[in-house]
Amino acid sequence: MTPLRRALPSRLLSKLPPFEPWTPLARLSTTTGDGAPAATAGATPTASSAAPSYESSPPIDAGSSIRKPISLWPGMYFSPVTNALWEARSKIFEEAGDTGASENAASLESELVPRSPSRSRTSIFYKFSSDYVLREQYRNPWNEIRMGKLVEDLDALAGTICYKPFFLWDQHCSSDDGTTRPLLLVTASVDRMVLKRPIRIDTDLQIAGAVTWVGRSSMEIQLEVTQSTEETQNSLDSVALTANFTFVARDSRTGKSAPINRISPETEREKLLWQEAEKRNKMRKKKREERNLDTKIEDLSRLQDLLAEGRVFCDLPALADRDSILIRDTCFENSLICQPQQRNIHGRIFGGFLMRRAFELAFSTTYAFAGVAPRFVEVDHVDFLRPVDVGNFLRLKCCVLYTELDNPAEPLINVEVVAHVMQPELRSSEVLRP
């Protein structure tokens, strides 16, 4: 739901700083169980400079990338942060293969070892205050953060986190012939992405997260976006956004669910986060069961009133309420062919890219409906019902579902985006619902 805020024209006329020919800076850091930094990775300016004292390893030269051929690593087509995260993820794969492929290839699926949530903790730092090129990639026309690109990075970071403690060569599927193969971890849903305070484009930003809950074949990752400003008094005040991502493990050949290592919460905070995630998981299961049943509508009278008002709009438009509008008249949509450059490391279309396109369509729909630039408040949920492949014809449809005017100064607008995955050759159309 999105409250409206009228942007100040003077902000659009603000003078930009002079251009500095630096390569975008995105720095990835991980921490060990004791909180000490374990590694950093990123793209640094082309000019040589001394490494800051707090870095645990020297910066990586953007011109000496160890990437595989571009067709296998399409991360460079996304944000520099997503690119850095996928570079880090590729190192996880390579290290796992070099250290344990020969030893653990014959291990059994039942050998699942509990992991500490702290092993998965990862953070990435945006130097918006000093890196002009990076800042320009995330700036929107109102000189604020471009939330769609940030959502894309959140998905990339969540994917990197879930691989750290779980995608090891002792984590596999066993075949009938006795061989083993690694698992695929894919985004299943996003639950309650909440913006707690505005995010500034001229202040350094950090995204950090860890695995908080693990089921048989699924896990939840909680991410926090923090930004310290003069208004923030402590670490809790600096949290600007929170989000919960759910990933599921799949057999890389059959596509069926596969068991994964569990986690063993150690601190009080880790135990609290696990309990909260367990409640959300039970709620999701309950909602899925209710969708399959003919449940009774609780507020039937309210629904009948809305339908009656809609019939007046259709049959007697001259007598309809001038303060209302039909949902179909608020709809916007766009279409695209999914390209190879938009795929993830598994060869499917990157979920973060799909969420960014859905978010930006929702923003545009709200903008056209309200007549002023909206301000994002929260995402209730995102569900990925099926994967999207290269070459699929994707059609995104968005409409305003309802509005709330309890606070006239900040009315709330709730919009929904539904994605249809079409294959014209097969005369097929399925709902993705990002």
Q: Give me the mean pLDDT over the 172-189 stretch.
A: 63
Question: Would strands 26-31 and 412-423 be described as parallel, antiparallel, or unpaired?
Answer: unpaired
Whole-angstrom distance, CA of residue 238 vs CA of residue 236:
5
Is the domain of 181 the same as that of 36?
yes
* C-beta atoms surrounding 105 within 10 Å: 14
Tell me, yes or no, whether 20 and 42 share the same domain: yes
pLDDT higher than threshold 50 for residue 178: no
Q: Which residues pair with 430 in a beta bridge?
A: 421
Q: Round to the nearest angstrom and report the end-to-end CA distance of the chain.
A: 16
Which has more pLDDT, 261 or 333?
Answer: 333
Considering the domain architecture, whether residues 154 and 303 belong to the same structural domain is answered as no
Per-residue pLDDT reduced to its tens digit, 20-33: 434 444 444 444 44
Burial class (CB in 10 A: 0-12, 13-18, 19+), 358: buried
For the stretch 71-83, pLDDT in tens is 445 555 677 777 7
Q: Take residue 381 and report the two structure tokens written for it.
A: 């949920």
Q: Identify the pLDDT of residue 47.
A: 36
Confidence band, pLDDT 50/70/90 cuts, at residue 151: very high
* Claim to verify: residue 171 and residue 314 sit in the same structural domain: no
In a domain, 389, yes or no: no
Same domain (yes/no): 99, 226: yes
The answer to the question of residue 410 being in a domain is: no
Q: Is residue 364 part of a domain?
A: no
Residue 82 near residue 345 (C-beta atoms within 8 A): no
Q: Say what the pLDDT of residue 83 is.
A: 76
Per-residue confidence (pLDDT) for residue 177, from 0 to 100: 46
Residue 7's pLDDT band (boundaries 50, 70, 90)? Answer: very low
Pairwise pLDDT comparison (317 vs 393), residue with the higher score: 393
Tell me, yes or no, whether 354 lies in a domain.
Answer: no
Q: Model confidence at 331, in pLDDT bands (50, 70, 90)?
A: very high
Total structural domains within the chain: 2
Examine the fold and report which residue of 249, 276, 292 is the final residue of a domain before the chain moves on. 292
Q: Are residues 34 and 153 in the same domain?
A: yes
Share of the chain above pLDDT 70, in %: 69
- Same-domain check for residues 261 and 305: no
Indicate whether 159 belongs to any domain.
Answer: yes
| Residue that terminates a domain, selected from 292, 309, 340 | 292
Residue 427 forms part of a structural domain: no
pLDDT for 428 equals 84
Q: Are residues 288 and 303 in the same domain?
A: no
Are residues 56 and 134 part of one domain? yes
Mapped onto helix, strand or coil, the DSSP state of residue 393 is strand
Question: Which band of pLDDT confidence, cut at 50, 70 and 90, is reported for residue 316?
Answer: confident
Region of residue 312 (left: phi > 0; alpha: psi -120 to 50; beta: else): alpha
Compare 425 and 12 and report the one with higher pLDDT: 425
Judge whether 162 and 168 are in contact, CB under 8 Å.
Answer: no
Which residue matches tokens 């619902």? 433
Query: In terms of C-beta density within 10 A (0-12 exposed, 13-18 middle, 19 or more buried), how is residue 200 classed?
Result: middle
> In the predicted model, what is the mean pLDDT of the chain?
76
393 located within any domain: no
CATH code, 11: 3.10.129.10
Band (pLDDT 50/70/90 cuts) for residue 313 is confident
Q: What does the pLDDT read at residue 76?
A: 54
3 state SS of 319: helix
Residues across the chain: 434
User: What's residue 24's pLDDT?
Assistant: 42
Q: Looking at the structure, do residues 13 and 150 belong to the same domain, yes or no?
A: yes
* Percent over 90 (pLDDT), the chain: 33
Any idea which of 9-13, 161-165, 384-388 has the lowest mean pLDDT? Answer: 9-13
Query: Taking the complete model, does pTM exceed 0.85, yes or no?
Result: no
Q: Which residues contact 144 (CB under 8 A, 6 or more apart)?
A: 198, 199, 200, 201
**Count helices and strands in the chain by DSSP H and E runs:** 7, 14
Instruction: Reduce the DSSP state of residue 323 to 3 states and report it.
Output: coil
Q: Which residues constitute the domain of residue 308?
A: 299-324
pLDDT at 259: 83
The yes-or-no verdict on residue 52 having pLDDT over 60 is no
The 8-class DSSP code of residue 337 comes to E
Rounded to an integer, the average pLDDT of 134-159 is 92
**Least confident stretch, 38-52, 391-405, 416-430:** 38-52
DSSP state of 8: P
Tokens 């992405």, located at residue: 193
Same domain, 84 and 45: yes
Say whether pLDDT at 1 is over 50.
Answer: no
Determine, yes or no, domain membership for 365: no
Radius of gyration (C-alpha) of the chain in whole angstroms: 23
Q: Could you tell me if 199 and 316 lie in one domain? A: no
pLDDT of residue 284: 82
Could you read off the pLDDT of 191-209 as tens digits, one per residue?
889 999 999 999 999 999 9
